[in-house]
Structure 1
């Protein structure tokens, strides 16, 4: 098939790429746009390493053709926040030391960010269900769950018109006592 000029919006910037319309979005993100947050894991949409937000939903970019996102908003890990202003989910994963090898982190963070958008008061069962198809082979599951809990709390606090609330202070006090 011949290459086509395709326009996509990624991390609030418009890009035009020339590629086969069936090219997986992941390849465009990594190879053409130099966005390396999404990782190539399985290539089958099974592991979650390649997850991105498409219109606020976590989607596996390795199985999405680039033409499917032409009129949509794509956000990668790089688009969530930066070192000067971390996204609450990124901040939570750092605070909870929720990394070992780090290969799964893109998918975990993107999945939790999507969960925070659609269900900011998610309980542990909802968090587990959201993350059940994001694979971590290093065994940081407890830290990832703790980071997801903290991320939802930080997201609610960040989106609250009153700013930081008692829930955050109380939770941090509980966290400190439990880990002392």
Structure 2
């Protein structure tokens, strides 16, 4: 959904940012899904992703933006990119968009995908109840991943009809 919505808004050079522990914990599904979605969109040319061991600091993020010139940052987890970009002189969303894969709320300022935590939580409880009913204890031998559909929040961090060009400050 993120790649498709970015494309519909006119972005063509998305840049994914991921903390390594987050990527590993999610079996690289965010990265794989985003790369696959971009591959199916005409003229979508994602830039080299930014992988960091911790939340990227200002200099790291700005160096990456200047080098690869994404027109929209697709953030897998953190939501402080806007502050770092603004502190360095970028205007969000006029100069560069920021799209969150984990937008916190429908009324919030962050454009992006809102995960359905309620449904995932319910499925997790159902899974635990089923384990208890089967008299199973401990960590399951085979990990199970639960996911649910996402909804889109247009937010204020994405420009409508973007010209798709970072200014290169």
Q: TM-score, normalised by structure 2?
A: 0.24
Q: TM-score, normalised by structure 1?
A: 0.23
RCO comparison, higher one (Cα < 8 Å, 6+): 2
